[in-house]
Structure 1
């Protein structure tokens, strides 16, 4: 029997998310976009050697911050056209194809692997679960008949096929507008589509309630870690006063080997502390002349990359800047928005505030400023 060694995954994420107000596949789910979680699942399937994501150029730029080895295709006017675009982008050597909805972030990689193996062996297979509710067939607002529940299954994704069978079905029936999934096209070829049992956790994010349920499922497999960060810099004339990536007009600025952004430095140390990865002085030593004057946003990008590499997901920041001058409160919105961009978070998950030092000590005399930061990170449970 031929062995499956080169499978491809086509992840369809071209929807506009009209019910959710924005593309549902890019909504944050426990610190990461829904689509990112869907891609991560297929990275864990050993036979999948190519992942094609069918999505907009805007979403593509977000994915590039998380992945470096994806193939991309543009969405079509319908789901089937999007699938066709994705299949066309696959390597010709692909033996089997898994087609998956980008709005299903919690698919079990083991179930996806089983479905691919079964689809390759039988020609076609789909993940599905038995229907739990009694299903009524309705016409004109009245029940026409009650369907036999024991024979009903709810189809999920991925839906998996031998590559040549899927290509043949798309070539012959891809123009049909009434097909809601590609397995219907394969059925029209006369190929028997096998059912591979899945679980109810593999839900599709369609409504706000779905997102709440997905968060609950996901939280069961994560633990929360908290890190604390602190930084202090002297203030000198002729330097820029930069906090959280925002330059605030002032007669003095922060003295330091970098741009002296105490807010970003404290936030980065909080992230590293939550992950037990040291502090920024180890990553960016002040003795290194190559980084003199470095923009602290670059430091933050490196720290965020490191946190993600170790399986961490930043979900909340709470930052307090302590300075006698200048007055910071008028700049709260700009700094919060900047921090959200830098750390790729929803602004509602970023807290930024400031306190004076009541004219006490160096800070009270306007000679220095300091910052405290707390970061909350989610990481996977230890095996």
Structure 2
């Protein structure tokens, strides 16, 4: 269990499928600007009852997750879903009171529903999320209806399915060889443990077909708002120092003087991003009075800002920066700076705008003694 979290439960997220119906593994398909599995993991990290998250997924997915999230535990998938669950449960902390098993392809699960299911499992021994069936169900032989069950008694099971750890371990040890089981609750039921149903909502569906991904994207869009932030920076030009602009070194006899490397383009853009998030400005994160960061690369400043973007579950969708300077001539460097900005912020270059204006020889900027940059950034933020 993560010693930094107070949660008493471990989560096992099963994400080992090959994605035969989707053409590639569905858990890594893009949804809302990032892989499906990232949304699933983030929901469990946000549930205070969860103290450990075990992700059962192939090594290539593990590397992507480890780069995005800290503190995850990993397990390799088996040849069946049940084998994958067993592998994941073996990695859960022995002191966990409850284990929550969840499909990696259910990215819209709400942290509050996770918590409710965990709490009910602690009380009853076993619990699962489910919704009442809306359609009339027919039991068929081939294409012939045999009977029609009473719809009022039917519920569609979802995940997470949560169990006291000892209950789940016993069920897996006794019945784990039954590969035809489609969920763990079937095994727990064989122990004679009653599984408690926790009413869920219909948005917690499993992405199985291409249409499901379209529905999930539409639902996610309802949970986002768009904000635009403004940034500004001004630096003196000094001879004999390197000039950095948008993370790229520009050949010139002068450079931008500052406590960092003076990259006023990155500074203005970072302030615009922080403005859209209402998270202050870079002078708070990197005070100019701090001698330990003297000469720091502005790319490092941008990385810190990107950490805040990820923590806020936001996405930078557009950047537009204008540098106002008399020298050097910037137009020859447009593509260099745009491509550099796209790399720094992990964006498609088509969503990055960079341009310049002269100051018509007016004032300090017009005399080549200083330069300024103005920037706007538009972010999509989870509401």
TM-score (structure 2 length as normaliser): 0.80
The 8 Å contact of residues 336 and 347 in structure 1, kept in 2 or not, is answered as: no
User: CA–CA distance in 2 between the matches of 1:52 and 1:282?
Assistant: 35
2:102 aligns with 100
Task: Indicate the residue corresponding to 1:353 in structure 2.
Answer: 353
* Deviation for aligned residue 1:292: 1.9
Answer whether contact 2:22 2:210 (CA < 8 A) is retained: yes
CA distance in 1, matches of 2:239, 2:145: 81
Task: Give the whole-Å Cα distance in 2 for the aligned partners of 1:251 and 1:321.
Answer: 21
**What RMSD in Å do the two structures reach over aligned CA positions?**
3.4
More moved, 216-225 vs 163-172 = 216-225
**Of 322, 327, 333, which aligns to 1:328?**
333
Partner of 2:290: 288
Alignment of 1:60-139 (within 5 A): 60-64=62-66, 67-137=69-139
Q: Could you tell me how far apart the structure 1 residues matched to 2:24 and 2:254 are?
A: 42
Q: Is the 8 A contact 1:127 1:195 kept in 2?
A: yes
The answer as to 2:283 corresponding to 1:313 is no
2:281 is aligned to 279
1:20 offset after TM fit, Å?
4.8
Specify every segment of 5 or more residues in structure 1 that has no aligned partner in the other structure, as ranges.
none
Report SS of the residue matched to 1:170: helix
1:186 paired residue number: 188
Query: Aligned equivalents of 1:204 and 1:365: distance in 2?
Result: 62
Deviations 1:99-128 (A, max 9, x none): 012222222333323322333443332211
1:7-22 alignment, distance < 5 Å: 7-17=9-19, 19-20=21-22
**Structure 2 equivalent of residue 231 of structure 1:** 233
Matched with 2:166 is 164
Which residue of structure 1 lines up, in the alignment, with residue 53 of structure 2? 51
Per the alignment, residue 256 of structure 1 pairs with 258
Assess, with a 3 A threshold, how the Cα gap between structure 1 residues 110 and 260 changes in structure 2: closer, same or farther: same
Distance 1:120 1:126 in 2: 12
Q: Secondary structure at the match of 1:42?
A: helix
1:285 match: secondary structure = coil
Kept in 2: contact 1:118–1:124 (CA 8 A): yes
Q: Which digits, 9 at most, give the CA deviation of each residue in 1:61-106, with x for residues without a partner?
A: 4444554343332333332222112111111122221101222222
Q: Pick closer, same or farther for the CA change 1:107–1:21 going to 2, 3 Å.
A: same
User: Residue 299 of structure 2 contacts residue 344 of structure 2 at CA under 8 Å; is this kept in 1?
Assistant: no
Q: Evaluate the alpha carbon distance shift between residue 286 and residue 20 of structure 1 in structure 2; reply closer, same or farther with a 3 A threshold.
A: farther
- 5+ long unaligned stretches in structure 2: 1-6
TM-score normalised by L of structure 1: 0.80
CA distance in 2, matches of 1:255, 1:209: 54
Q: After superposing the two structures, state which structure 1 stretch, 260-269 or 112-121, moved more.
A: 112-121
CA distance in 1 between partners of 2:190 and 2:336 (Å): 62
The alignment partner of 1:179 has SS state of coil
1:339 lines up with 2:341 in the alignment: no
Query: How many angstroms does 1:190 deviate by?
Result: 4.5
Deviation at 1:189, TM superposition (A): 3.9
**1:87–1:63 distance in 2 versus 1, CA, 3 Å:** same
Pairwise CA distance, 1:53: 2.3
Superposition deviation, residue 170 in structure 1: 1.9
Assess if the C-alpha contact under 8 Å between 2:131 and 2:199 holds in 1: yes
Superposed, 1:192-203 pairs within 5 Å as: 192-203=194-205
